[in-house]
Structure 1
């Protein structure tokens, strides 16, 4: 079974991809979106968001990283797709699923689910502008507010030449509410079409992965939020690996701290580590107590001291 590390805007950046692919056997990563409006973006934009382009489009661990584009203009999306693959992206993913208001107001992401004809034009243009040997994929939701629209949406994307479709099994209006997951619609899509489908949504552990495969018939899964909650989720889903112990998570956090402080985002380290703890709290009770201490600080030094002290106490 293929397991893909999906995109999370502002969360799954290149440092997180490097760390998570180092400890998981992910088959593919998809970047945060490159927002395209009305111009061909300079190469520096792609390198900044996806520095893996400088190393053959792969993480240090060898996991392929596919650039994701977001926008509403078929011509400019096609132009930027061509640039991305020319820089080394092993294919292109198109974002039709982001539910953020700021994105939807500028006619990007999930708002396009209301216009399957435009989705068709976008995918067709991107497919025509890129090497046919490289995949063009799309990430969608079931619809804007009606899951039954998924059939028209998926058909438009498939007819335009998409090689694979990742389906988040909720509508835009469902947001991320757990009770709104609708895996059965992915099963219906698979029965109606031949284009491969990646199932996405509410996969938090091995059992969820197995239930999703059984419910959808898909042999490819995409994980996003769960991969931050449980850092070794990729291998948990693929191999039923034991959940990473809290002591190992602390080691990973200290390693991440070194990357962030030395890297280009050092000033943002306190916010980034707090963000990660906000996810970890859902999986690890220990993270809740530690988060109460960390959130008081806005400098890297005291936060790293807390992490090191907690790790030393566990190791003693």
Structure 2
């Protein structure tokens, strides 16, 4: 979710509700103790009690492979107010993997254990340490080894994405393989992957054996997905449009106009999966580089 589940989108999605907590984009740790300003950049909510404006807790996510350095940075994040530390062993990005981060570490369960254990020792006992992993790197042969390594290191819970790094984001997600992980460890397991609808959520729970779910791209494509899973009530474009307008207004002045406009287009590209109105709107703003002009188009779309 790097470059997508940013501060502004977290505000909008948690305003809509349905979430117990959310997680930052990953903070890359590579050999140095990062200054506080880096944590504030990736998690501005730290200055508001580590909660979104709706009051949803925000956990700080770290990605790296050096146990000592990860521990040092986790301790700093905790001192700045992070309510929990999440460790990323799932990112499939080639650039990240080339620098020995993310899902490639799943070839080394011993290192996974060392990173989790070091972070667990470094942060106060009342601050949870969690981990997220895929089923594996090239294959899922070591899925249970990695899950047991995370559990033995003292993690509070484990989130499992139901695909390997090699499988990327190609459907399906293998929820039954998450069930094997869930059955192999005593700590809580959260299921993730290919949850786009409330029906998907129910099938994932049944096949994985996990009641807790992590939503990623599905929540971006349908901002009311978490709410719908909890309540069974659907929502339409008229419910979403005001939140899109609020998102654009929040972005104003946060970067160069074309960067702000690019973020809006990125979200519309996800929204069009479920909403034809978003596809039509994206077609109208595709060449637009001024977010102020986008607000005018949104207003015209609402009036129509």
- Aligned residue among 154, 162, 184 for 1:161: 154
- Aligned residue among 251, 256, 259 for 2:250: 259
- Aligned residue among 236, 259, 270 for 1:268: 259
1:264 CA drift (Å): 5.1
- Aligned residue among 41, 48, 57 for 1:48: 41
2:178 is matched with which residue?
Answer: 186
User: After the TM superposition, which parts of structure 1 deviate over 4 Å for at least 4 consecutive aligned residues?
Assistant: 264-267
- Aligned residue among 98, 107, 111 for 2:100: 107
2:140 is matched with which residue?
Answer: 147
1:267 CA drift (Å): 5.0
- Aligned residue among 218, 221, 230 for 2:213: 221
SS in 2 for 1:257: helix
Spell out, residue by residue over 1:273-314, the C-alpha distance to the aligned partner (whole angstroms, 9 max, x if none): 11001101111112222211110111223222211110111x
1:73 is matched with which residue?
Answer: 66
2:237 is matched with which residue?
Answer: 246
The 1-side partners of 2:16 and 2:253 are apart by 21
SS in 2 for 1:170: strand
2:191 is matched with which residue?
Answer: 199
1:263 CA drift (Å): 3.6
The 1-side partners of 2:36 and 2:296 are apart by 38
The 2-side partners of 1:306 and 1:263 are apart by 20
Task: Work out whether 1:280 is the aligned partner of 2:240.
Answer: no
- Aligned residue among 291, 298, 302 for 1:307: 298
- Aligned residue among 15, 22, 37 for 2:30: 37
The 2-side partners of 1:115 and 1:294 are apart by 46
1:149 CA drift (Å): 1.7
The 1-side partners of 2:153 and 2:291 are apart by 48
Trace 1:113-128 onto structure 2 (pairs within 5 A): 113-128=106-121
1:148 CA drift (Å): 3.0
8 A contact 1:29–1:65 mirrored in 2: yes
The 2-side partners of 1:118 and 1:224 are apart by 26
SS in 2 for 1:141: strand
1:55 CA drift (Å): 1.4
Give the TM-score taking structure 1 as reference length: 0.94
Task: Work out whether 1:177 is the aligned partner of 2:196.
Answer: no
Task: Work out whether 1:21 is the aligned partner of 2:20.
Answer: no
SS in 1 for 2:141: helix
Spell out, residue by residue over 1:232-257, the C-alpha distance to the aligned partner (whole angstroms, 9 max, x if none): 11111222121x31122221111111
| Structure ranking higher on relative contact order (CA contacts 8 Å, 6+ apart) | 1
Give the TM-score taking structure 2 as reference length: 0.97
Q: How many correspondences in the alignment?
A: 304
2:284 is matched with which residue?
Answer: 293
8 A contact 2:191–2:210 mirrored in 1: yes
8 A contact 2:272–2:278 mirrored in 1: yes
SS in 2 for 1:148: coil
User: Which residues of structure 1 form unaligned runs of 5+?
Assistant: 1-7
8 A contact 2:40–2:46 mirrored in 1: yes
8 A contact 1:260–1:266 mirrored in 2: no
The 2-side partners of 1:121 and 1:192 are apart by 20
